[in-house]
Chains A and B, each alone.
Chain A
Amino acid sequence: MRSGSNLERVLESGTFAVTAEIAPPKSTSTEGLRKKVQALKGCAEAFNLTDNQTAIVRLSSMASSVACLQEGAEPVMQMTCRDRNRIAMQSDLLGAASLGIRNVLCLSGDHQTFGNQKEARNVYDIDPVQQLMVFRQMRDQGQVWGGDTIEERPKVYLGAAANPFADPFEYRVARLAKKVKAGADFVQTQAIFDLDRFERFMTEVRARRLDEQVHILAGVVPLKSANAARYMKTKVSGMSVPDEVVVRMKSASDPKKEGIRICVETIDHLKNIPGVHGVHIMAIGWEEMVPTIAEQSGLLPRPCIP
């Protein structure tokens, strides 16, 4: 075991895993966050606490992860390259591990111009591939970058993101391979609506035997309305939403129900794609639906693997 995290145990056991995303509050109070964790606990192996997602200032991922731990659920701490140089990243990794955080997701981060701090200077000292290289060295060699010894190594399960829908498509699998080579233990993908394109991506993943080297958790997002579908289709870069999905949402008598139905159907499909080892549910601003989705997808109860 690299980290001994619950997520690692479930994935290594070969069980289809579930993770879900929880957005930290724009507040110092963790009360709401704790309530969400309580409500979602038991529906997933671990919960991603985002790191100032869309570059909007929120409670830090580390503090949120600790609150999650205190509520008895396992966090996946997200860490972007946007706001930290390699000194802060390595220090934060040690800090996170010392607080009991066992999963860390390495990301480039949404560009600052999308958020509420457009005039900020970004960092990008290292990129997510290099972040994985640095963190793996810390965990496996017990050395910080440059070679100094760490007395007690950070036992963390290392995650990365993959987007099968961004361009150039021909390079997307090679890019995943680089992350695997750099040290990713698990990968969470961008939200999947375009199953055809995802199938093509997975065919190539299997051709390169990447599915044997890394655990792939397929991302899903439940849609709340036809507008949300249209927004994702047209405004979010690196997203592919087929017209059929937009039409279904538009013509539904109860769009919310339809959104959940599409999400559950997608998960059913994903479960049957070889090489997909789990799902990552991103119910943005709609976290209370995670239990319903997990339930309807037949993913409950979650296994207990010692």
Chain B
Amino acid sequence: MSTSEITCLCCRSARTALQPNGDEELPEGVSVVEMPCSGRIDEVMMLRALRTGSHVVMVIACLDGNCKNRTGNYHARRRVDEARSLLSQLGLDPRRVAMFSLASNQSSCWLEAVKDMRELADALGPIKLMEGDR
């Protein structure tokens, strides 16, 4: 069971943005699940990450039009939307899952995104019902 607060489900190509030299330490509380392509990430993984202790889930994909497999990041985007819809239906805050598009040299963007999501994670805390719209 993960004890980290932020789970990044991350495309292998975009991952360079997280650790440009390959050995940097990740920000505290961030764990990364590397996938061959963001197109392989589905709503089951996002929900499971939340259930097993993550406060928020970041789905990290390549920039639009930049997917090695052509459309993997578009798939990921639709599944993020679906996961958010499921969260709303469950009475959970849909903002707990978010999508980020990164090129491999956009380390600063990634750090910025982590900062924002950490703020959100701190504000929301562990999952609880009725925090969403219903």
Chains A, B in direct contact (C-beta < 8 Å): no
Binding site for A on B (CB under 8 A): none
A→B interface (CB under 8 Å): none
